[in-house]
Amino acid sequence: MILKKIKQRAFSNILDSITTLIIISFIIISLTTILKWIFFSANWSVVKINLPLFFFGSFPKDQLWRPGLWMSLIAILSFATLLAPRWKWVPKFLPILWISFAPLGIFLLGGGLGLSPVESRNWGGLTLTILLTSFSAILSLPLGIVLALGRQSELPVIRKASSLYIDTMRSVPLIAVLFFGQLLIPLFLPIGLEINRVYRAIIAFTLFVSAYLAEDIRGGLQSVPKTQREAGEVLGLHPLQITCLIILPQALRVALPSLTNQAVGLLQNTSLMAILGLVELLGIGRSILANPEFIGRYIEVYVWLAALYWVVCTLMALIARHLEKQMALEKRG
């Protein structure tokens, strides 16, 4: 029975059998090489010694509980989201918790209100990666919605301006937006007003990502049938009420898969700040490799970073699929 199934799935004809055998030998050879390297040849001391750096950057030693607390909260929140349907009362609070989560990060990292201030150049590692991602995501969603609505507006001036913004942003590479964000934002601000590198990066990410979100949301808006607006008008609702209460919720549900993909992409793209002088996860890896003590340990550091990014991104994707499923259920009910 099992043999028959295997034959059907992997050995149905000669060509198939040859492919299967080639793949099996390829898998065996590469797995043994990789496992041998991981357990015997690789020297993981560079990762072990620098573990706090990878997670928290060069945050002051006695204050490490702050990024630590914030990261644990994310982990708890992520698992709560995944398990939410089992506990009835949790789902109501989740959206509020997720939104308040980025400002909490700024407070815990930056200090103030009783916490000793820590300068942004001491922020780093995975903590900074997640801070950049969450803050930019939360800011760019409303901006993206406004741009998408603007592009669909019947007022030509607003429509043209939104289109121009979206199309220009989408044709420029991200690294250019980030680089010029670092250089030009101080030039555009009045003298005396200065913002640090992390906030400049967040502004640049927000400006860039919102153009992409806008296009995804526009796709969602176009999928909502015209009759929905007409139904709203018949009920005597104000156009603004129709947009916010009837059209947008449906559009966002349709756009959700692409929006969450953008979020995963955003997290990966925060690594670009490594070439622009922030020590987020990839940046801290580079600065560790620049340390003479660990010189030449490229493979260990890069493999470790890839694994870390993979776990975080896959977790994000899992949460996203879970959200999509829940939304779909809601629609049916």
Residues of this chain that bind another protein (CB under 8 A): 9-10, 12, 16, 19-20, 23-24, 27, 154-158, 161, 168, 171-176, 179-180, 183-184, 186-191, 264, 268-269, 271-272, 274-275, 282, 296, 298-299, 302, 305-306, 309-310, 313-314, 317
Would you say 292 or 296 has its CB closer to another protein? 296
Distance in Å, CB of 104 to another protein, minimum? 25
Would you say 119 or 167 has its CB closer to another protein? 167
Would you say 117 or 156 has its CB closer to another protein? 156
Contact 59, 123 (CB under 8 A): yes
Q: State how far the alpha carbon of 69 is from the alpha carbons of 65, 66, 92, 105, in Å.
A: 6, 5, 23, 10
Would you say 66 or 297 has its CB closer to another protein? 297
Q: What is the CA radius of gyration of the chain?
A: 24
Q: Rounded to an integer, what distance in angstroms lies between the CA atom of residue 318 and that of residue 326?
A: 12
Q: Rounded to an integer, what distance in angstroms lies between the CA atom of residue 211 and that of residue 303?
A: 33
Distance in Å, CB of 319 to another protein, minimum? 14
DSSP conformation class of 115? B
Would you say 198 or 305 has its CB closer to another protein? 305
196: helix, coil or strand? coil
Distance in Å, CB of 210 to another protein, minimum? 16
Would you say 104 or 303 has its CB closer to another protein? 303
Distance in Å, CB of 133 to another protein, minimum? 12
Would you say 115 or 175 has its CB closer to another protein? 175
Distance in Å, CB of 303 to another protein, minimum? 8
Angle CA 174–97–142, to nearest 5: 40
Angle CA 221–132–97, to nearest 5: 70
Amino acid identity for residue 34 in this structure: I
Distance in Å, CB of 173 to another protein, minimum? 4
For helices 298-332 and 248-269, angle between their N-to-C axes, nearest 10 degrees = 170
Would you say 275 or 328 has its CB closer to another protein? 275
Contact 301, 46 (CB under 8 A): yes
User: How many other CB atoms are found less than 10 A from the CB of residue 185?
Assistant: 18
Phi/psi region, residue 252 (left: phi>0; alpha: psi -120 to 50; beta: rest), is alpha
Distance in Å, CB of 63 to another protein, minimum? 28
Distance in Å, CB of 191 to another protein, minimum? 7
Q: Can you name the residues that pair with 112 across neighbouring β-strands?
A: 115
